[in-house]
Structure 1
Amino acid sequence: MTVTRVLPLTGIHNFRDYGLYPVAGGGRVRPGLLWRSAQHGDATDADLSVVRDLGIGTVVDLRGNSERDAKPCRRYPGFAAEVLFHDGETAGLHVQAAASNPSAAEARAAMQRLYEGIAFRPTLVPMIQRYFAALQDRDGASLVHCVAGKDRTGFAVALLHHVLGVHPDDIMADYLLTNVAGNIDQRIATGAEQIRAKYGAIDEDTIRTLMGVEPEYLEAAFAAIRDAHGTMDAYLADVIGLDDAAQDKLRARFIA
């Protein structure tokens, strides 16, 4: 099976289909329905033309108010998708990890600590809930994104992959694809500009750490979930409100 996953866009980074993976019991996640990316504030007209042709009807924007204000998403003419967002702040990773001008090692440790709380962040949980509600109730393709499309987005996507029965190795592979998808140098340069504008001179190694992902981050999030709830499914039911019937509905929609 030929898999075309990453779209080579110019101003929208980390834009990719997170379907296509095989699932437990047979079948695959349907392609062309589940998209993820970084923010669209620097999208070119050509990028927007590609996005328009995907037929995306729902956009789940995991950014907080200040992030959306700082970099409003560009839209193509006639854009009519519904955009879901949280009226408040949802960030916590880069803000805290970069605030003290850390070394790369310190930033890496901070990112791992912060992932330990990502599943329980009071301002992010409501958006994860809205993400899963939208996937259950809305037809057509959807897009989920944050600033870089790697932490908040990566966590949300990993949860859905778990529900759909994607193998843990593929869940991790999709998460780590952030590190190689698209124009990495341009994505890092864009992130560096924003981070340095807010926090001052931060060295290149630290910037690359802040703009990348590592297995230990997602593993830390999942370990914290298991510590608090015993299993991923218990967390999904207790915190996200995703019971067995809701999970069955998602599998019926997105597995072919």
Structure 2
Amino acid sequence: MPDAATGATGLAQDLRLACAPNFRDLAAQVHDLPMRHGMVYRSDMVFAPSEDEAECLHALGVRVVFDLRSAAEGAASPNAFWRERGVEVLDFDIGSDVRAKGSVWDVLKDDASAAAIHALLSRIYRSIPSASAPALRSLFERIAAGDAPVMIHCSAGKDRTGFVSAMLLSALGASRETIEADYLASGGRTTPEQLAHAHAVLSEVAGGPLEDSASALLTGVHLDFLDNAFGWIERKFGTTQAFLEHAAGLDEERRRQVRSRLLET
């Protein structure tokens, strides 16, 4: 059986899954707010779970899955597990908008240095807020309507999912410290096998062994990238709350509804 810590509600609060190592309860890192466990999960792609893992995931009662991957990613690895169990899956194709700013693969072919990759990822993170706005709007609407538990995921569950999770925590009033702790937690949930496979794939695309520093940028999580997203928001909207209101439809009434669903009173 997967390693599961079970709370008084009987729902698993911290599953350690071989099929999705970055799957976790968003409330796990929240210590400055009374966030309810078992309401919002964030994850990498759930692919081919074992029978025991499938049983644990099904028991969580997820109602809506927010798939932030591109159409190409979805076609290559369909969300079969959730759909086969009757769970509603909403596709937002954030990947297409993000990659419109520059392809990781193209950069690796032309220049696989850490400096080039850092510059590209910084640009990508500045594009994520506007690309994520439709997903955020729908996420807030569905939570306010009582459709939790929900799950948010992309391929690795660290960049697009990390940003959307950061915005949800911001909407709840979490501190920047809490938001950063949740974001960085993805760095401790990648298996050595995943890292080795990613390094091999990236080196093949680059046409030669990738520098460790370059590989770490692509496979890890780094606060300066998240800072780029927040910086873009502050330049365009002034504050994160203004971005959430004007770009994602989170007015005061919707915020109150979301908080009432996700926070203990």
TM-score range normalised by the length of the shorter chain: 0.7 to 0.9
Q: In the alignment, what sits opposite 1:233?
A: 241
Percent identity over the alignment is 29
Question: Following TM superposition, by how much is the alpha carbon of 1:200 offset from its aligned partner in structure 2, in angstroms?
Answer: 5.2
- Cα deviation per residue 1:53-111 (whole Å; 9 max; x = unaligned)? 11111111111211011112341796121111136854636972342212233212321
1:120 aligns with 2:130: yes
Deviation of residue 126 (structure 1)?
Answer: 1.8
Identify which of 30, 36, 41 aligns with 2:42.
Answer: 36
Summarize the Cα distance change of 1:78–1:99 in structure 2 as closer, same or farther, 3 Å threshold. closer
SS in 1 for 2:178: helix
* Residues 82 and 89, structure 2, Cα contact 8 Å, conserved in 1: no
- Determine whether 1:213 maps to 2:221: yes
CA contact 1:97–1:110 (8 Å) conserved in 2: yes
Equivalent positions of 1:35-74 (< 5 A) are: 35-74=41-80
Tell me which residue corresponds to 1:83.
89
Q: Report what 1:187 is aligned to.
A: 194
1:139 correspondence with 2:165? no
- AA aligned to 2:124 is L
Change beyond 3 A, Cα 1:154–1:221? same
- Specify the SS of the correspondent of 2:115: helix
Q: Is the 8 A contact 1:10 1:43 kept in 2?
A: yes
Change (3 A) 1:241 1:197: farther
| TM-score calculated relative to the size of structure 2 | 0.83
Whether the aligned pair in 1 keeps the contact of 2:105 and 2:205 (CA below 8 Å) is no
TM-score (norm 1): 0.86
Separation in 2 of the partners of 1:114 and 1:88?
11
Equivalent position SS for 1:11: coil
2:261 alignment partner in structure 1:
253
Deviations along 1:170-198, one digit per CA (max 9) or x if unpaired, are: 100000001002x4323324544665676
What is the Cα-based RMSD across aligned positions, in Å? Answer: 2.7
8 Å Cα contact 1:63/1:91 also seen in 2: no
Q: What SS class does the counterpart of residue 84 from structure 1 fall into?
A: strand
Aligned-residue offset at 1:44: 2.9
Provide Cα deviations, 1:178-224, integer angstroms capped at 9, x if missing partner: 1002x432332454466567665451623332111101011111111
User: Are the counterparts in 2 of residues 62 and 90 from structure 1 also a CA contact under 8 Å?
Assistant: no
Question: Which deviates the most, 68-77 or 112-121?
Answer: 68-77
Bigger mean CA deviation after superposition, 152-161 or 102-111: 102-111
